[in-house]
Amino acid sequence: MVAAASVVAAVGTVTGMVSALDEGGGKDQARPKVTESPTLEPLPAVPTPSASDSSAKPSPAKSSAKPKPKPEPKPSTQRPKKPDNTAPSANSLYRYGDSQVLDWVRANRGDPRRPLIESKIADEPAAVWFADYSPGTITSRVRAVTSGAGGRVPVVVPYAIPDRDCGGASQGGAPDLAAYDAWIEKFAAGLGSGEVVVILEPDAIALSECLSAGERADRYASLARAGRTLKAANPKARVYYDAGHSGWNAATRQAGRLRAAGAASAASSDGVFTNVSNFHRTADEAAYARKVLSALGGPPDLGAVIDTSRNGNGAPADGEWCDPAGRKLGQSPTLRTGEARIDAYLWIKLPGESDGCKGTPGTFTPGYAYDLARG
């Protein structure tokens, strides 16, 4: 079986975060520390660090082939109306001002690669990852992102499920599901009251073969609680669940797992996400996402978001997933796709942050970024 997975990063970080005050009044770092990158059956890469005093963590990246298995609050019954897919302008997504690529651009004004990297990557809005388990500061760090959006829509990624990445490069997360449930409540408290897109736990559903049947059921129940918690805290939050990608699990199989995790319920879900940290073409992902949604059932307005950060040339034919050569940036992030049931194209994996072959996992690698930008 070809290795393939979808997501992410070496443990722990956020895709860009500024220092923020934590609830206790101390200075908080929006960025996590960089740790080893998880292997999701193709190895992932960690999230990006923030500019605070603490160490940065990379933003996740995953493989592109099929992975091999490895050894509450009461929800509101009213579903907020989802914005018309053709209404928002393409630039209504929020670009957070603290990320590894922005740090590099600011520090390397004379580098001949800088203009292309700045215009093609640094100027685009991308997701902000929260991949470290730090319950004391998570609320203030999420709030640092959502409170500065100024009417635009931030994309945030909670990534702390226990047994994350099945012990691969992005391993880590909360110590147990009870701790995770409490962490998600603190995460949700930072969402504010404006529109925000939540990419809930990349690979947590598509990559779960390492768990026993009972452990999977417990994880799915926890993810269902997480969705309800997030939407109860902010009814304008749009929460999307892990559908893997078109080269991984069959749509009907993935839909069954998603249903068990609450993704078919209006109280916890707005739909699914695909292709995180992967390379599959947008058209293939859109077709796959629609099949998943059809098999999933649930409200007819459930939609999908697709990670287009590195899929401009599609996935390598040989299934290579670690910083493969010949890739390029995909469609720019937008909330206006013009495609039925496809709510957005997003840059969830941060382009230029290495999977671990062209640089340290999860860290910004200018040579790799430049290749993607000129691709």
Catalytic residue numbers read 165, 203, 355
What is the separation of C-alpha 352 from the centre of its chain, rounded to a whole number of angstroms? 15
Q: How many CB atoms lie within 10 A of CB 174?
A: 20
- Across the beta sheet with 237-242, the strand order is 128-130, 155-158, 196-199, 237-242, 271-274, 303-307, 342-346
Q: Give the separation between CA 7 and CA 39, rounded to whole angstroms.
A: 9
Residue type, 93: L
Residue located via tokens 């701790």: 179
Query: Which residues on neighbouring strands pair with residue 238, listed in sequence order?
Result: 197
131 close to 9: Cβ distance less than 8 angstroms: yes
Asked if residue 332 lies in contact with residue 345, where contact means CB atoms within 8 angstroms, the answer is: yes
Q: What dihedral do alpha carbons 299, 241, 372, 288 form, nearest 10°?
A: -50
What value, to the nearest 5°, has the Cα angle with vertex 178 and ends 350 and 33? 35
DSSP per residue, 119-170 = IIIITS---EEE-S--TTTHHHHHHHHHTT-TTSB-EEEE---TTGGGGSTT
Query: Which amino acid, residue 270?
Result: D
Bridge-based pairing of strands 20-21 and 27-28 is: antiparallel
Question: 207 CB contacts (<8 Å, ≥6 apart)?
Answer: 5, 6, 40, 41, 67, 165, 166, 244
User: Quick one: tokens of 267?
Assistant: 């109280």
**Structure-block tokens of residue 256:** 């069954």
Q: What SS3 state is found at 343?
A: strand
Nearest to 167 by CA among 63, 13, 38, 355: 38
Cβ atoms 308, 345 nearer than 8 A: yes
The torsion defined by the Cα of 208, 296, 286 and 268, in degrees rounded to 10, comes to -80
